[in-house]
Each structure stands twice: as structure tokens, then as C-alpha cells.
């Protein structure tokens, strides 16, 4: 197979993560198609050139349309603010390019559906940045649940909290504007929790929810006054899964002290499993077997027994990190292109995850239970 050309749009936190992932995929995983870092796009042009040099891209541009049409580019990585995802992804799909897009897919569920349908019709491969479900600890938890290690699932409870919007004096940005960011805490973080709930307990059938804007206004950066915060800082939902299991989901971007507390518990008839992304290399499992006086939680440290951890490090307990999850994600896309298989999570999967956050927002606005099949 020919070397696949990577076109990267955006050079922030996620842009760097994508560049590192594609650059390291073959070195870490071995059996991965060859890639070359072809074109990088950012604005202004001098920044694009600087970051292309830093990341190792051959060329730079400040025009994302020219990057998409470039014949040397096979895969488009979209790591821009949310408002740009839809136009860039549709243009890339129409050009016959594979697309690796950060979450959420788009500002609205209608746009996300259009992206999914366009990718299906074009037959291109897609990947969406739900990298936390690539964590070997999480995939091991899924296997434990599926193997019946904690019996039948009876309840799922999850929460995802950060404090990046906790300070009321933090300046207003595009993240506070519906037309630029779409949903707030739900779009930034709640969708990650939805992806994990889906993996552990299956699709959600319906929910009832509420949400809150903690800081109604924020100061403008130039000191000229305050602007309204148009989306939610917190949201919570009581959910019913399609298999009859009940649960709850909660998210806050105003939770002082929390940096990435993407955590959940799944309760079963024979025990339970706990996970927290702030301790991403650990699982805790409780089994109600044996002498009651000796029962307790067992901590599982991820290691080579939890693939693909061993591709990174031969020793248990030495820890993987966030950027390692992006390498796993990029590898899945590259292998799917080579093997003509469906990568996961692709646009179809992401659309299902994101139905949950839009259902939460709709329920909060209307005060009614929302069935996801009606969206």
C-alpha cells in the first residue's frame, strides 16, 4: 500500500496530539501502513509554517480548502473549533478523503447526521476523537462486563467534571456562544461520558435531564464589559438503557479541583467495576464471592495483559498517557483504510454517542423525558 499523506487542520492541543499520533503509530504498533506528514494548515501563514516545521510536515498553508484538494493528502485531520467541523468534514468527504475529526462531530445533531450520511455514501473511512474508549483499562472493563464477571448489570452511574470554567472572572470566549461552540459542558465533556456509558451498558433508550449555567455572564477580554454565556456549565440526566438498565450521567465544567474526572461505576448482581480517567491505568473490581470477611475491591493495574498496552511498554504499572490513546486511535484508522474495514468510533458511532447529549439538552429545555429514537 502506498504511503498515506496526512493533512492536518489546526495546531492546538489536539493538532499536536494528531501529529504525534501519526508520527509514532508505526514505531509503536508495527503493523501499520506507512504515512507521511504532507500538509499542515493554520492561520496566519507564518504560524502554519512554524508549526509545520515543529511537527515535521513537508508543507504549510493558511487555506484549508487547498489542503483538502491537495492530491498528496489522503487523510484529513480536523482539530479546529467546533463551528468548523461540519464544513471541513463535508468538503473532505466530497473530495474522497478519509476524515479524522475531533469530537463533537458538529454543533447540531442535524449536522452530525448529514456528516454521517455523507461519509456512508462516499465510502470513505472516518474516525472521531473519542480516545478515552481506546484506553486498555476501559476495553478490559468492557470484556469483564461481557464475560459476566460482575453478573447482570443493574445500574450505571457516571460523571465527568473539570474546572476550566469554574472561575467567574475567566474571560468570555467562543466556548460560551451557541453559534460557535454548540453545547457547553455536554459538548466538551459529556459526550465522552456518553461514549463510555454506551460501551459498558449499551445504547440509551430515553432520559430526563436538567442543566444549569453557573456563571450567567463573563467579562470580555478587552475590559469593555460582560457578555452572556449561552450554553450550560452543568448538566445531569437520569437514563434508561435499551436493555432495561437504569443509571445517571452528570457533567460540570465548573467543578473546582477536578481536572479530568471522567469516572463511572457499573453495578452488577455479582459485583461492580469502578474507573476514573484521572487514574487512567487502574480499574477497581469488587466480586461478592468467597469469605465475606475477606471481600473487598481489587485494583487492577494495566499492563501487557491488557492490549495494546504491551506495544508501548513491556512492564505493568509503568503507565500509559493521553497521547498514547491518540496513537491507538490513529492506528485503528490506518488499519481500517488498509483492510477496508469499519474503524471505531467512526461517524456512525459518534452520531449515536452525541444523540445522548442532545437529548439531555432537549429534555432540560422542555422538562420532559426524551426518547432517543425520536431524535
| Grid cell of 2 as nine digits | 502506498
Q: Are residues 66 and 141 in the same domain?
A: no
Tens place of pLDDT for every residue, the chain, 375 residues?
A: 799 999 999 999 999 999 999 999 999 999 999 999 999 999 999 999 999 999 999 999 999 999 999 999 999 999 999 999 999 999 999 999 999 999 999 999 999 999 999 999 999 999 999 999 999 999 999 999 999 999 999 999 999 999 999 999 999 999 999 999 999 999 999 999 999 999 999 999 999 999 999 999 999 999 999 999 999 999 999 999 999 999 999 999 999 999 999 999 999 999 999 999 999 999 999 999 999 999 999 999 999 999 999 999 999 999 999 999 999 999 999 999 999 999 999 999 999 999 999 999 999 999 999 999 999
Domain boundary among 131, 159, 191: 131
Residues in the chain: 375
Q: Same domain for 203 and 307?
A: yes
Query: Cα separation of 345 and 358, whole Å?
Result: 18
Cβ(28)–Cβ(312) under 8 Å? yes
74 and 180: one domain? no
Q: What b-and-e string marks burial along 218-230, b requiring 16 or more CB atoms within 10 Å of the CB?
A: beeeeeeeebebe
- pTM here is 0.96
pLDDT value at position 201? 98
Q: How many angstroms separate the Cα of 221 from the Cα of each of 171, 183, 224, 226? A: 5, 22, 8, 9
Residues 270 and 147 in one domain: yes
Asked if 149 and 284 sit in the same domain, the reply is yes
Residue 278 in grid coordinates: 484521572
The whole-number pLDDT of residue 1 equals 79
Do 114 and 161 lie in a common domain?
Answer: no
Strand pairing partners for 78? 9, 101
* 35 and 93 assigned to the same domain: yes
d(CA 133, CA 242): 20
State the CATH number of the domain containing residue 71: 3.40.50.720
Asked if 353 and 195 touch (Cβ cutoff 8 Å), the reply is yes
Query: Residue 256 CB: number of other CB atoms within 10 A?
Result: 10
Identify the domain boundary among 72, 99, 131: 131
Instruction: Indicate whether 105 and 153 sit together in one domain.
Output: no
Dist CA 203 CA 163 (whole Å): 28
Question: Are 73 and 168 part of one and the same domain?
Answer: no
> Which helix (H) or strand (E) is 177 found in, with range?
none
Can you tell me which residue has the cell 475567566? 170
Q: Pick the last residue of a domain from 111, 131, 151.
A: 131
- Do residue 157 and residue 263 come from a single domain? yes
Amino acid at each position: 500500500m502506498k504511503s498515506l499523506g496526512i493533512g492536518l487542520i489546526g495546531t492546538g492541543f489536539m493538532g499536536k496530539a494528531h501529529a504525534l499520533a501519526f508520527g509514532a503509530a508505526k514505531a509503536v504498533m508495527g503493523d501499520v501502513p506507512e504515512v507521511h506528514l504532507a500538509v499542515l494548515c493554520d492561520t496566519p501563514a507564518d504560524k502554519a509554517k512554524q508549526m509545520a516545521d515543529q511537527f515535521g510536515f513537508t508543507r504549510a498553508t493558511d487555506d484549508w480548502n487547498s489542503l483538502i484538494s491537495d492530491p498528496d493528502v489522503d487523510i484529513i485531520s480536523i482539530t479546529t473549533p467546533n463551528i468548523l467541523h461540519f464544513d471541513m468534514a463535508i468538503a473532505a468527504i466530497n473530495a474522497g478523503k478519509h476524515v479524522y475529526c475531533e469530537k463533537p462531530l458538529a454543533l447540531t445533531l442535524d449536522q452530525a447526521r448529514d456528516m454521517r450520511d455523507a461519509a456512508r455514501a462516499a465510502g470513505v473511512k472516518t474516525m472521531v476523537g473519542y480516545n478515552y474508549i481506546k484506553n486498555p483499562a476501559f476495553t478490559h472493563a468492557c470484556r469483564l462486563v461481557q464475560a459476566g464477571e460482575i453478573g447482570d448489570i443493574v445500574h450505571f452511574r457516571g460523571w465527568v467534571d473539570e474546572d476550566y470554567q469554574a472561575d467567574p472572572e475567566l474571560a468570555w470566549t467562543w466556548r460560551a456562544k451557541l453559534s460557535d461552540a454548540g453545547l457547553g459542558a455536554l459538548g466538551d465533556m459529556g459526550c465522552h461520558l456518553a461514549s463510555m456509558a454506551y460501551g459498558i451498558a449499551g445504547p440509551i433508550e430515553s432520559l430526563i435531564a436538567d442543566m444549569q449555567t453557573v456563571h450567567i455572564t463573563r467579562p470580555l477580554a478587552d475590559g469593555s464589559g460582560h457578555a452572556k454565556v449561552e450554553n450550560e456549565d452543568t448538566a445531569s440526566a437520569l437514563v434508561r438503557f435499551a436493555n432495561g438498565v437504569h443509571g445517571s450521567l452528570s457533567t460540570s465544567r465548573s467543578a473546582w479541583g477536578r481536572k479530568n474526572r471522567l469516572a463511572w461505576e457499573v453495578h452488577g448482581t455479582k459485583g461492580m467495576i469502578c474507573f476514573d480517567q484521572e487514574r487512567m491505568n487502574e480499574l477497581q473490581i469488587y466480586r461478592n464471592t468467597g469469605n465475606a470477611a475477606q471481600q473487598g475491591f481489587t485494583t487492577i493495574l494495566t499492563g501487557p495483559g491488557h492490549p495494546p498496552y504491551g506495544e508501548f511498554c513491556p512492564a505493568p504499572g509503568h503507565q500509559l498517557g493521553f497521547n498514547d490513546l491518540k496513537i491507538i486511535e490513529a492506528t485503528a484508522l490506518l488499519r481500517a483504510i488498509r483492510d477496508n474495514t469499519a474503524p471505531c468510533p467512526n461517524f456512525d458511532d459518534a452520531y449515536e454517542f452525541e444523540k445522548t447529549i442532545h437529548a439531555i439538552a432537549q429534555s432540560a429545555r422542555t422538562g420532559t423525558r426524551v426518547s432517543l429514537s425520536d431524535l
